[in-house]
Structure 1
Amino acid sequence: MITIVDYGMGNLGSIQNMFKYIGINSKIEKDVDKIKNASKILLPGVGSYDTAMKKINQNGLSDVLNEKALKDQVPVLGICLGMQLLTDGSEEGKLNGLGWISGKTKSFKNNIGSEYNVPHMGWNLVKQSNRSQLTEDFDTFDETRFYFVHSYFVKVENDKNSILKTSYGLDFDSAIQKNNIFGAQFHPEKSHKFGMKVFENFARI
Structure 2
Amino acid sequence: MIVVGIIDYRAGNIRSIRNAFEHIGCDSRLVATGADLDGVSHLILPGVGAFAFCMQRLAQSGLLPVLEQWALADQRPLLGICVGMQLMARHGFELGEHDGLNWMGGKVLPLIANGARVRVPHVGWNDVTFDEPFGGFAASSKADFYFDHSFAFFDPEFGDTIGRCSHGQDFAAVVRRGNIVAAQFHPEKSQDAGIRFLESFLAIEPPC
TM-score when scaled to structure 1?
0.90
In the TM superposition, residue 137 of structure 1 has moved relative to its aligned partner by: 2.2
Gaps of 5+ in 1: none
In the TM superposition, residue 25 of structure 1 has moved relative to its aligned partner by: 1.4
Which position in structure 2 is the counterpart of 1:179?
178
Task: Give the match's secondary structure for 2:68.
Answer: helix
Q: Does 1:100 align with 2:120?
A: no
Which position in structure 1 is the counterpart of 2:84?
82
Amino acid at match of 1:95: H
Gaps of 5+ in 2: none
More helix by share: 1
Which position in structure 2 is the counterpart of 1:170?
169
Q: Is the 8 A contact 1:35 1:64 kept in 2?
A: no
Amino acid at match of 2:110: S
Task: Give me the whole-angstrom Cα distance separating, in 2, the residues matched to 1:60 and 1:5.
Answer: 11
Q: Is the 8 A contact 1:24 1:203 kept in 2?
A: no
Task: Give me the whole-angstrom Cα distance separating, in 1, the residues matched to 2:53 and 2:190.
Answer: 26
Q: Return closer, same or farther for 1:122/1:58 CA change in 2, 3 Å cut-off.
A: same
Task: Give the match's secondary structure for 2:99.
Answer: coil
Q: Is the 8 A contact 1:3 1:40 kept in 2?
A: yes
Q: Is the 8 A contact 1:45 1:81 kept in 2?
A: yes
TM-score when scaled to structure 2?
0.89
Which position in structure 1 is the counterpart of 2:50?
48
Query: Alignment identity in percent?
Result: 38
Q: Is the 8 A contact 1:136 1:201 kept in 2?
A: yes
Task: Give me the whole-angstrom Cα distance separating, in 2, the residues matched to 1:59 and 1:159.
Answer: 26
Task: Give the match's secondary structure for 1:126.
Answer: strand
Q: Is the 8 A contact 1:53 1:97 kept in 2?
A: yes
Which position in structure 1 is the counterpart of 2:66?
64
Task: Give the match's secondary structure for 1:144.
Answer: strand
Task: Give me the whole-angstrom Cα distance separating, in 1, the residues matched to 2:129 and 2:158.
Answer: 14
Q: RMSD of aligned C-alpha atoms?
A: 1.9
